[in-house]
Chains A and B, each alone.
Chain A
Amino acid sequence: MSYETVLLRNVGVAGSQTLATYRARGGYQAAQKALTTMSIDDVVEEVKRANLRGRGGAGFPAGVKWTFLPKDRTVTYLCVNADESEPPTFSNRVLMEHDPHQLIEGIIIAGYATRATVAYIYMRAEFTEQFHILQKAIDEAYAANLLGKNILGGDYSLDCYIHRGGGAYVCGEETGLIESLEGKRGWPRIKPPFPAIEGLFRKPTVVNNVETLCNVPHIIERGADWFLGIGPEGSSGPKLFCVSGPVMRPGCYEWSMDITLRDLIEDKRFGGGMLPGRKVKAVFPGGISMGIVTGDELDMKMDFSDPGKYGLLGLGTAAAVVIDDSFDIRSVIRNVARFFSHESCGQCTQCREGTTWMYKMSDRLEAGLGRREDLDLLTEVSGNMGMMPGMSICGLSDGAAFAIKTIIKKFRGELEGYVGTENLDAVRIALEVVN
């Protein structure tokens, strides 16, 4: 296995956050090329041909997304989704923290391709240090005429602002992000209209993830064919993977999407194996909302299509959190249920009530007060929510459903060993004592 580092190539280089270093290492060549030698259509076509699939989780091709913008639009906004809030995910953070100019270059090219006049970076509330780094880089870019009026002496002008979020997971959903950016409660919007038609301030809007945009300069610089040559078909291009949990080397790594989950955990270049004496019990390979795989399913490829074969919702954020055999699966299910119950925005009934119900059940389960029917009930409740069956506006509850559903399905044996309370009154009395 060999791989040339692309996205993280500046990480670890002294002064990687500065314009001078970024330029010295070949930065802003792509922006120069796009803005001075390529037409808008050329840029869109190149990215479309590269089949750059969105890195935020859903994997929708970015170039295709750009073509959904109405032809006769007068105002376009570009929103950069930097609300990285999926548990165990921190790849956007690494990109912004160590190589902010790469993102800015991506924004300039994407802005040019979409004819955006303003780019808003919607940044996770908890990113404090990263905010200052990125803001400093933006200031530098303005001073160097890479942002602002007539970028690089050409006709294209773009303003770029960072908007700091308020700390809600759901604001990473593109329309929740837009609502929040407008100063409203971050409740995802009903679609249609899609953001490309009516987005921010009811104007055509493109929302792209940080990592997606960081790929754009490289596609422009080296061409779509180079990009397509990396990794498996349908999942081409460089990709960042996060690995966390009881592994030797938790961190963010870059590779093509032909690696397996086992590589990510055990390979010396990545996770470096488990901590001494620990064994993989389960892994959430794509952020918790994609679902869980067991220690026997580590041969899953970390690309856009393979996770589906393991009953998962998708690749997600490609952030694997490893759970070792010292953990009780009940604490995992409770923790996951708690997260979604806390982060459900409260708009759609099934998600608002269902996530809380699942949390209450799993909490009780962990307390040793589980009933046999609770497992079926959890499965049923998780099956009664989600955007895919039509029960909710956004995908948050699909995530909640898949996480819970897959845990119950894959760890049913272990869970059944814990449930045994058949007497409802006993449960109630016990609960009153607990509460």
Chain B
Amino acid sequence: MAKLIINGVETECRDGVPVLQAALEMGLDVPHYCYHPGLSIVASCRLCLMEMKMKHPKTGELSWSPKLVPSCQTPARDGMEVRFDSEPVKRNQRNCMEFFLLNHPLDCPVCDQAGECYLQDYSYKFGEPTSRMVDQKYVNPKKDLGPHTLLYQDRCVMCTRCVRFADEIAGTGELCVTNRGSRAEIDVFPGKVLANPLQGNVVDICPVGCLLDKDFLFKQRVWHLQSADSICPGCATGCAIRVDQNNNVIYRLKPRYNPGVNDWWMCDEGRYGWKYAQSGERLRGPLMRRGEAVEPLDWLAAAGTVRFRISEIATERGANSVAVVLSPFMACEEAWLLATTIRRIAPEATLVCGPAPMVDQDQFFPDGANGNAKFTISKEKAPNRRGVERIIAALGGNTATFAEFCTQGAEGKFAGVWLSGGYPTEWVDKDLIKAAEKIQFMVLHDLFSSKLVDAAEIILPACPFSERSGSFMNAGGKIQPFDWAVNPPDGGKRDGQYLQDLAEITGLYQPAAIRAMMARQMPEFKTIHEAPEQPAHQH
């Protein structure tokens, strides 16, 4: 640890971190563009300059150096004294803001970044209200960089965060700077497009409205958005994300800082992979089959029916003729509630973990090697297989793999089955259908309609991640909590809530309360991994 004095206040920070980082962690708002803690340091925006006490070369006396130094480039050392609140520092910030805005169009009213723009914020806080330039502005061109991203060069501050991201994190290096001076532009190298699996992050780290996401372009003013902290369900990496919604409609996902898991980043697959959550094709319910017809059912009756029918089957057909398939898209709390409820009704019920969709291999960035990967996209395209399997292992008793469940089901072993799905895409295969046809009473708890609907007696609509809350256990074994962002469509209910109702536990579903119960059996649920808050002025 290094002890240093910033603005006259003594503070401690890890040795060698940039003074800028130490100042931000102290809560100071030090303006900066090019510095990003996840990228290399270029010290080119010259906005974070500070005054530093230096030894006089001859007398050895400590005094404020007349030369300003970039705080991002200066590592914190013990005994150092710096300041950001002096007139020379403020003057530089003022001048910088004037320079940044010389050729910047005043198009905030039509700019997507407005409201979360560091040109706006810094200009307001550190700049002057007017520009002294009377000459015509240069207008640098707009460009289409790839399938998802637009570049408004006239708004660029040339921090080169995007270029460094493509080089250092994505490892694809398709971005570059062309031309010089005020005419310098960000561009893709000839013949390339910005289409790497992590490219969406360049929009996040762009401190101004230069890089914009076509998916979000002109959809919402950001000040209308409300955010919920979530975990991306796209794969087993478990990136911490933020779901931005307005009036119950999701507009975008953004990564949250989560060191050791996704750092500051997320992949495009996750970023744009949430559209299914708002699909009109989702199952509505609950529904119940009566003969040929399928009729609506209310939630309370559904819970009662499920409890009654399962207990009836357990009595008539033997306690081991009941099975419950838990989905790797369920939160740990939901899976635990469901498994324990069914086990209470049918103590010998078989617990099964549903299939986790897999692709060939993990994707490591920047260079495809695992050793020093800065970001990993897991080959396992479900968020919580590990959590569900952990719960099944903890509960013990009869368990089966999904393949075993299908084989034994096809042989007619199971008469009463609760089948949870919740997959964003088609997941039902021939083996499962063969097994389902033999099941006398099936509760289908799923997101989309499939061939299983014909075999199910009770159909319960599941929620996507954006409407659930609880926790997922990621590939690294970290249990990460997530919150719901929007409400289920009309007539729907959050999975956690109706599973709690099914378990006949009164009150609102509170994941933390469920976790406390789980922790008696599984101590790892006592302390879960929450993504830390970044310093308020870090970006």
Contacts and interface: CB of A to CB of B under 8 A. Distances in A.
A341 B68 contact: no
A348 B177 contact: no
A382 to B, nearest CB: 12
Interface stretch (A249-257, A305-313, A350-358): A350-358
A393 interface: yes
A48 interface: no
Nearest to B52: A390
| Interface size classification for chain B | 35 or more
A356 B182 contact: yes
Contacts of A185: 176-177
Given A356-B102, A393-B44, A349 B180 contact: no
Interface in A389-409: 389-393
B135 interface: yes
Interface stretch (B91-99, B241-249, B296-304, B351-359): B91-99
A167 to B, nearest CB: 10
Contact of B99 (A170, A343, A349): A349
A435 B139 CA distance: 13
A346 B181 contact: yes
Nearest to B40: A190
A384 B95 contact: yes
Contacts of A170: 180
B134 A389 contact: no
Given A384-B95, A390-B68, A392-B46, A431 B103 contact: no
Interface in B130-185: 132-136, 138, 157-158, 176-177, 179-184
Contacts of A190: 41-43, 70, 73
B67 A390 contact: yes
A184 to B, nearest CB: 9
Tell which of B42, B46, B67, B177 has the most Cβ of chain A within 10 Å: B46
Interface residues of A, number: 39
B181 A393 contact: no
Nearest to B97: A349
B47 interface: yes
A349 B184 CA distance: 11
Contacts of B134: 371, 424, 427-428, 431
B136 A435 contact: yes
B135 A364 contact: yes
Contacts, number: 107
Given A384-B95, A390-B69, A431 B136 contact: yes
Contacts of A335: none
B133 A357 contact: yes
Tell which of A187, A355, A363, A377 has the most Cβ of chain B within 10 Å: A187
Given A347-B44, A391-B92, A424-B134, A352 B158 contact: yes
A341 B46 contact: no
A170 B42 CA distance: 17
Contacts of A345: 180-181, 184
Contact of A346 (B43, B96, B176, B177): B177
A349 B157 contact: yes
Given A352-B184, A357-B102, A346 B179 contact: yes
A131 to B, nearest CB: 23
A388 B100 contact: no
Given A346-B182, A393-B44, A353 B176 contact: no
Nearest to B44: A347
Interface of B: 41-47, 49, 66-70, 73, 92, 95-96, 99-100, 102-103, 132-136, 138, 157-158, 176-177, 179-184
Interface of A: 168, 170, 185, 187, 190, 341-350, 352-357, 360-361, 363-364, 371, 377, 384, 388-393, 424, 427-428, 431, 435
7 contacts: A190-B41, A349-B46, A349-B99, A349-B100, A393-B43, A428-B134, A431-B134
Given A352-B158, A352-B184, A356-B181, 10 more contacts: A168-B180, A346-B184, A349-B96, A353-B99, A353-B182, A356-B138, A357-B133, A390-B46, A390-B68, A393-B44
6 shortest A-B CB distances, which residue pairs?
Answer: A346-B184, A390-B68, A353-B99, A356-B182, A360-B135, A344-B181
